[in-house]
Amino acid sequence: MIEYSFTPKPLDPEKIEYCDPTLVNQLAKCMYQTAFKRDKNFDYLQRANLFLLRGTAVHSVREKSPNKLLEVPDENFKEAFNEIWESEMKAQHQKLVDDWFPALVQDFEDWPEYRRVQSRTRINVKKEIQRIKDSGGGERPVIEGWFEDERLKLKGKPDRVETWDSQTVAIVDIKTGPDQEEIRPEQRRQLLFYAHLFRASSGQTPKKIIVENTRGERSIEDIGDSDIDAVVEEILELRNNFNSGLDGNLETFATPSKENCQYCPYRSHCDPFWLIYDKEWSQWKISISGKVKETTEEEVVVHNIVSPSDIADSEIKFLRPENFQLNVGDSVVIIDAKPSSLNSEVITFLWNSLINDTPVSS
């Protein structure tokens, strides 16, 4: 049983040496989030989530399947594909179980849009195999290969590098979200980052960047050296701004908003988040920072609510989880609980809710 009051930790991030596209997009979104990620004392907050693991599974299956299924007869293809798919999903599910222990996490078959993503991935793998066969087994795309620019200290691993002909190289990013349409600004930055890495490694400038959605539909943009150079300049400026600001007030790095904060794993320790957080950000989840007013064997009551400020005068009640012993006067930080639709003063805990940075036992 866990017994402690929430205590914020000092932040001491490491300087950035090498940049990758994920880090750069995080810098562009919120440098304060990057500061937490660069401090190993906060590594324990970086838990897996359903959407990240689903994307990892899709990428892994699309990488492995063409070679493994190339010679499989059509009548056996679906069964053979499903074996690869389920093996990968079980591995990703286990990561979720490990990260969120002792919470009881969803079985992978209950993940959002599971069957749709599985079906579309199977169709896309089948199309890729057919393209290989139609080309006579010719040059295949480079799938998830690492590239590095040692001079500028940049590195990354694009989903695909496709050679269409001797003059045309395309950098492809495969997205697994349900509402992917046009290339978004952060995706464009990511793809141009990869384009620079390919150019630095091969001497050839890619001419296309592509985002492919789960339906196999592609958004394509023509690019040139000037597009790549502009993004490289932005990347170096972001890194320099972060490193040069490490000796100052790190909270000035923060750019809190509903969009930037809703999935951030460091919210519990982020004062700028709590200062602007509003319970109207989501009708499905609520986060709370306050003090324990009273406890019984069954129930905990929280008051002196610091955030969200629009319920500062309220009291919030919840059933005491089995793995917690909260005492009167303890500081308590709750992340992503479920508000009651019947009583605004009652919350319940989901499998991915946190109390004082700790998953809640079901």
pLDDT, tens digit (0-9, with 9 covering 90-100), for 60-106: 998 888 889 989 999 999 999 999 999 999 999 999 999 999 999 98
Residue 144 confidence (pLDDT) above 80: no
With a pLDDT cut of 90, the percent of the chain lying above it is 65
DSSP codes of every residue in 25-88: HHHHH-HHHHHHHT-GGGGGG----HHHHHHHHHHHHHHHHHHHHTT--HHHHHHHHHHHHHHH
Look up the pTM and report it.
0.88
pLDDT of residue 1: 47
Q: In the chain, what are the domains?
A: 47-134 (no CATH), 142-244 (3.40.1350), 258-359 (2.40.50)
pLDDT of residue 66: 84
Distance CA 71, CA 240 (A): 50
- The answer to whether 190 and 180 are in contact (CB under 8 A) is no
pLDDT of residue 7: 67
Mean pLDDT over 234-242 rounds to 98
| Residue 283 C-beta-side C-alpha neighbours within 13 Å | 2
Distance CA 142, CA 128 (A): 13
Residue 234 confidence (pLDDT) above 90: yes
pLDDT of residue 97: 93
pLDDT of residue 290: 94
Distance CA 239, CA 124 (A): 37
Question: What average pLDDT does the chain have?
Answer: 90
For 54, 267, 275, the CA distances from 175, given in Å and listed in that order, are: 10, 26, 33
Residue 233 confidence (pLDDT) above 90: yes
Which residue(s) pair with 160 in the sheet? 143, 172
169-207 in b/e burial notation, b at 16+ Cβ within 10 A? bbbbbbbbeeebeebeeebbbbbbbbbbbbbbeeeeebb
Interstrand relation of 147-149 and 154-156 (parallel, antiparallel or unpaired): antiparallel
Residue 343 confidence (pLDDT) above 60: yes
Residue identified by tokens 């384009």 is 195
Q: Please, which pLDDT band fits residue 302 given cuts at 50, 70 and 90?
A: very high
Residue identified by tokens 């849009």 is 113
Mean pLDDT over 329-357 rounds to 92
pLDDT for 162-206, tens place per residue? 888 778 899 999 887 767 778 999 999 999 999 999 999 999 999
Distance CA 305, CA 302 (A): 7
Distance CA 24, CA 112 (A): 28
